[in-house]
Amino acid sequence: MAEVIVMGGGLSGLAAAAALGSAGHRVTILEARPFLGGRATSYESGSETIDNCQHILLRCCVNLMDFYRRLGVLGEIKFYDEFVFIEPGGRRSVMKAGALPAPLHFTGSFFGLKFLNFSEKLAVARGLQAIRRESSRNDLDRITMREWLDQHGQPLRAIERFWRQILVSAVSEELERTAAIHGFQVFRLAFLATSDAYQMGVPAVPLGQLYREEAWKKIGNVAIRLRTPVERIQIQNGSVQCVLAGGESVRGDYYVSALPFERTAAIGLDLDLDGFSHAPIAGIHLWFDRPVIDLPQATLLDRTIQWVFNKSEGRYVQLVVSASHSLTEMPRTDVKTH
């Protein structure tokens, strides 16, 4: 079996290491930080263990499910079968699967949603049918999801309260910056394929615990080297010779780079990354002296914040703003009052 060096201990690097280790290869993970998980991890603050941002999955996220299964931690993900939409003023609507088979399983609860009128619901239903018909269109990677919705006559309120609310949360990017092919993938896999694919999984433990040392012992072929930043990749005649990391030379038969794209030039990889940019997610943590929410999670309509998660007895909640481009441009003090 091969010796594989994985550079970067974020989710992508960890998933690659778990798959390679499970296949019998000897894997070494090189991670600059003193912990695993990258942006999907947790940290200590006083007596609290805080997830840097709430990370979730749907049952259709088969690769992430496979990673958690390999580590033996899939049982620490709690799945919910209801999406609760809350309008300004507090009125709630619930979308969940009913008795009909896919792709009709949402029919009953969808037409019972209060935040869309009947004509808007019919328009959304026509849009979902069009997604099924047009999945083989050859231009879906060249037009944005917003352009596709406009082509299909989706009303503005339906776009804002349904399509945008779901897709921005799913892909962490605005409709105007998301290729239609990715929007199609979300709805095909999560909402139309099977009756349970939409169910939302939320870790029941802090994110960092999902990658704990004893979980990796289940695989057995993976060595983890923390505080070992990759400094340079030595390439000769088009082939990687070794990796300089933590002040030493690390060699393997194969090398996997799972480093952030902006680091590739610094370590010696000459790649064209002009089209790459970050899609930020903002997490806001709030602690109260009494319960303020009676739901495990909900999505908030007509707000900058898309989702609220009940982290502990309704007293500790986390708010999530996906595609938070406008917030990253603000001074921190302005974000607090936004």
Q: Are 176 and 138 in contact (CB under 8 A)?
A: no
* One-character DSSP codes across 188-207: IIIIIS-TTTTPEEEESS-G
Residue 335: pLDDT band (50, 70, 90) is low
Q: What is the pLDDT of residue 318?
A: 95
| Separation CA 281–CA 21 (nearest Å) | 31
| Separation CA 306–CA 309 (nearest Å) | 10
| Separation CA 15–CA 39 (nearest Å) | 14
Q: What is the pLDDT of residue 331?
A: 76
Q: Are 335 and 327 in contact (CB under 8 A)?
A: yes
| Separation CA 64–CA 174 (nearest Å) | 23
Q: What is the pLDDT of residue 48?
A: 83
Question: Any idea of the CA torsion for 288, 292, 293, 299, to the nearest 10 degrees?
Answer: -80
Residue 32: pLDDT band (50, 70, 90) is very high
Across residues 56-78, what is the average pLDDT?
A: 96
Question: Any idea of the CA torsion for 204, 205, 211, 214, to the nearest 10 degrees?
Answer: -110
Per-residue DSSP letter, 227: S
| Separation CA 109–CA 105 (nearest Å) | 9
| Separation CA 222–CA 219 (nearest Å) | 7
> 119 is written with which tokens?
């004509």
Model confidence at 70: pLDDT above 70: yes
Q: What is the pLDDT of residue 337?
A: 56
Across residues 289-297, what is the average pLDDT?
A: 95
Q: Are 300 and 265 in contact (CB under 8 A)?
A: no
Whether omega for the bond prior to residue 280 falls within 30 degrees of 0, making it cis, is: no
pLDDT tens digits, one per residue of 182-200 = 999 999 999 999 999 999 9
Instruction: Look at residues 145, 206, 204, 134 and name the one whose alpha carbon lies nearest to residue 170.
Output: 145
CA 194 to chain centre: 20
Domains of the chain: 3-77+205-263 (3.50.50.60), 80-192 (1.10.405), 279-337 (no CATH)
**Average pLDDT score over the chain:** 94
Instruction: Look at residues 212, 210, 213 and name the one whose alpha carbon lies nearest to residue 201.
Output: 210
| Separation CA 260–CA 239 (nearest Å) | 21
Model confidence at 43: pLDDT above 80: yes
| Separation CA 166–CA 175 (nearest Å) | 10
Burial of 229 (0-12, 13-18, 19+ CB in 10 A): middle
Q: Are 80 and 298 in contact (CB under 8 A)?
A: no
Per-residue DSSP letter, 104: S
Across residues 252-257, what is the average pLDDT?
A: 96
